[in-house]
């Protein structure tokens, strides 16, 4: 694979981000071609969309104030997380762990980094639709049929540092099926699937970074993707009870209670 960064101007609310990406991509060498994959940072889309909140204008609820006190956070920030997240599962100092669109993510995707002072940036309102819109624009203007991934960053359980996370896709299958495929020793794989979109998001994330790099998108050439007109980010999701991490976490209190009852009986 070949990975090319696309540096863009500082994006502001109301900017035509699709035109910005088209302009920044038009002179790439080698030029873009069919089946290239563009990974776009979610923050540039959210910023252009105006998905920015002024914390000074947020009125925290009692729950927001209580959670802020418990986790050492700013009440207005916590309230914005409560407004955005589907579920708040808990937290640690300075961070809440949440489900947002069935993705396990810190603070419901609400982020202070690379936002104006005293502001936060949310996720784009519809990442799949953004990916499709960008795809269509590149087809119409540059004549290339690319795949598009909208990416944010997140942390992996018990590992230091952020990795890429796909939150929107268009034009490619985000997951490669390995169940039933024969391994090196002739055994069929039983549960393995490859998170193609997340892996490509992580590839781009290495170049995008987390600070002032201004790499708003990355082009990945010769990625081993399977094209699709019907797949969406929903095809990457599983229910919490089927997840290795979330399923274990949800079952742990019941298992612990059972062990304690057994110990008392014995």
Looking at per-residue pLDDT, the higher value among 250 and 21 belongs to 21
Is-contact 151 201, C-beta < 8 A? yes
- 196 or 246, which is more confident: 196
Kindly state the percentage of the chain with pLDDT values over 90.
Answer: 81
C-alpha torsion 89→92→96→101, nearest 10: -50
pLDDT tens digits, residue range 70-100? 999 999 999 999 999 999 989 999 999 999 9
Banded model confidence at residue 266, pLDDT cuts 50, 70, 90: very low
Q: Where are the domains of the chain?
A: 2-50+126-239, 52-122
Architecture of the CATH domain 52-122: Alpha-Beta Complex (3.90)
Can you name the CATH fold of 2-50+126-239? 60s Ribosomal Protein L30; Chain: A; (3.30.1330)
Given a contact cutoff of 8 angstroms between Cβ atoms, the answer to whether 8 and 44 are in contact is yes
Count CA atoms closer than 13 A to 89's CA, side-chain side.
16
Residue partners of 249: CB distance under 8 A and separation at least 6: none
* 28 CB-near residues (< 8 Å, 6+ apart): 4, 6, 219
What six digits make up the tokens of 149? 């991934």
Burial class for 199, CB neighbours closer than 10 Å (0-12, 13-18, 19+): middle
């Amino acid at each position: 694979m070949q990975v090319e960064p696309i540096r863009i101007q500082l994006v502001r609310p109301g900017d035509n981000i699709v035109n910005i990406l088209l302009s920044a991509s038009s002179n790439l060498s080698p030029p873009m071609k069919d089946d290239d994959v563009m990974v776009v940072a979610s923050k540039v889309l959210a910023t252009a969309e105006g998905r920015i909140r002024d914390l000074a204008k947020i009125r925290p609820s009692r729950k927001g104030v209580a959670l802020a006190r418990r986790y050492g956070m700013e009440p207005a920030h916590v309230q914005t997380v409560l407004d955005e997240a589907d579920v708040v599962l808990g937290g640690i100092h300075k961070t809440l762990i949440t489900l947002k669109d069935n993705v396990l993510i810190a603070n419901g995707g609400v982020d202070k980094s690379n936002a104006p002072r005293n502001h936060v940036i949310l996720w784009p309102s519809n990442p799949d639709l953004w990916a499709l819109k960008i795809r269509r624009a590149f087809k119409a203007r540059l004549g290339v049929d690319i795949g598009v991934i909208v990416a944010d960053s997140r942390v992996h359980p018990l590992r230091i540092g952020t990795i890429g996370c796909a939150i929107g896709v268009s034009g490619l299958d985000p997951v490669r099926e390995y169940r039933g495929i024969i391994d090196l020793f002739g055994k069929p794989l039983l549960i393995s699937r490859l998170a193609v979109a997340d892996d490509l998001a992580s590839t781009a994330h290495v170049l995008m970074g987390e600070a002032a790099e201004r790499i708003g998108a990355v082009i990945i050439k010769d990625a081993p993707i399977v094209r699709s007109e019907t797949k969406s980010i929903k095809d990457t999701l599983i229910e919490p009870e089927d997840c290795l991490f979330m399923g274990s976490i949800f079952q742990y209190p019941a298992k612990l209670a059972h062990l304690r009852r057994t110990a008392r009986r014995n």
